[in-house]
Structure 1
Amino acid sequence: MKFLLVLAAVAALAAAQSIEEIGNRDISSLLADRALVMKQISCVLDQGPCDELGRGLKAAIPEILHNNCGRCNPKQASNARLVVGFLQRNYPRVYTAVENKYRKGGRSG
């Protein structure tokens, strides 16, 4: 499993808390809000300001990319797969940019 936004290596406690915050939400309604998605994409790519959700996403991306969401519970892993698929289908260039940024640079933010 890859990603996200969605979707580098994780700082243990901080990332676990962020994954907990983001991963247990119902994210399908969030993904339906294009303005919110664009705001979070800007945050994750360091192209705009971050809110709490964006900061959580930035912290969760490394766990997902580098640890294959190994510390995620089933709901968090399901959400990670949902976000990855969503970005790959709807924002393939963004997905590639996020993956490149966080795979190469480790943890961003």
Structure 2
Amino acid sequence: MKLFIALATLVVLAAGQNTYTSENDDLDIDALVSNPEMLKAWFNCFVDKGSCDKVQARFKVDLPEAVQQTCAKCTAAQKVITKKFFAGLKEKAPADYEVFRQKFDPENKYFGPLEKAVA
């Protein structure tokens, strides 16, 4: 009986993993991309060139999978955040965008579909 309860609990938990946690969906991405120092800090966190705060670290955990799976588990808010982060990085720091893209998509096969998915 205990085994059945444990298995049922695992099934319920696994079924609930269809999206990433929404705890930071209220991130003010417009403020972030409009502030060059903040944008650079987030970039540095994501590419392992700087430390990460709690919010950055939470996004960083999911980032590789989100890139490879075209944000399939992203909430609507996370798709907006991703779209605006990419656009801001491309516009304000194109060289950093290329470093970021190379880190998460060195074979250049994920970013095109990902950018379409979050558009």
TM-score by length of 2: 0.62
Task: For structure 1, list consecutive stretches of 5 or more residues without a partner in the other structure.
Answer: 1-12, 105-109
- 2:70, 2:95 → 1: CA distance? 21
Q: Which residue of 1 aligns with 2:98?
A: 96
Q: CA RMSD of the aligned region, Å? A: 2.1
Pick aligned residue for 2:58 from 56, 62, 68: 56
Please list, as runs of the form range in 1=range in 2, the aligned pairs for 1:1-109 lying within 5 A after superposition.
Answer: 16-17=20-21, 20-104=22-106
Shift of 1:42: 1.4
User: Residue deviations 1:77-96, cap 9 Å, x none?
Assistant: 12211111111111111111
What TM-score does the superposition give when structure 1 sets the normalisation length? 0.67
d(CA) in 2 for partners of 1:22 and 1:93? 27
Stretches of 4+ aligned residues off by more than 6 angstroms: none
Greater Rg by CA: 2
Higher relative contact order (CA 8 A, sep 6+): 1
